[in-house]
Amino acid sequence: MVLAYIGLGSNLSDKVAGQILDSKSQLEQALSSLSEHPQVNILKLSNFYQTPAIGPGQQPDYINGAAMLETDLSPLALLDLLQAIENQQGRVRTIRWGARTLDLDILLYDQLTEDSERLTIPHPRMHEREFVLAPMADIAADLCLPTGENISELLANCSMQGIVKL
């Protein structure tokens, strides 16, 4: 089993299994689906944070969080699982950084570094995004990235303007 860290985000509501889920509920449903997988064990969950949207046009604020999990899925199998959950919850990929019902990203997978067509680990921009670092600090403040950078130190260099812990 390896430790993996997943970033979660949503800024759109959608109908899932016959019920309308707001952004926070989208994250909770995704975590429920993830926890049901026999090869995934969620160890820690961060607080949720309301964060300003980054991307094109006017978008609603995001709800973001992070999860630490144990898995024996390979990185690509974990990515496939996350994308299947996104698709189940109405994720449509049309505009890069556009509004979305659900965004599940592999942030870290043990200390693995990978840069392939489908997957880059660590997540390429996590070190500069407070909406990733704040939830990560909740569950792994002393964790170092494969580059040697520490989550808490990276977060200390970010602006927390507009970010609200829920």
Q: How far apart are CA 67 and CA 48, in angstroms?
A: 11
**Catalytic residue flag (residue 105):** yes
Cβ neighbours, 10 Å, residue 130? 21
Catalytic residue among 61, 72, 96, 103: 103
Catalytic residue among 61, 96, 105, 118: 105
* 73 touches 81 (CB < 8 A): yes
Catalytic residue among 14, 91, 129, 138: 91
Cβ neighbours, 10 Å, residue 49? 23
Look at the alpha carbons of 84, 86, 161, 120 in this order and tell me if their dihedral is positive or negative: positive
**Catalytic residue flag (residue 142):** no
**Catalytic residue flag (residue 100):** yes
Catalytic residue among 100, 110, 115, 142: 100
Q: Which active-site residues does the annotation give?
A: 91, 100, 103, 105
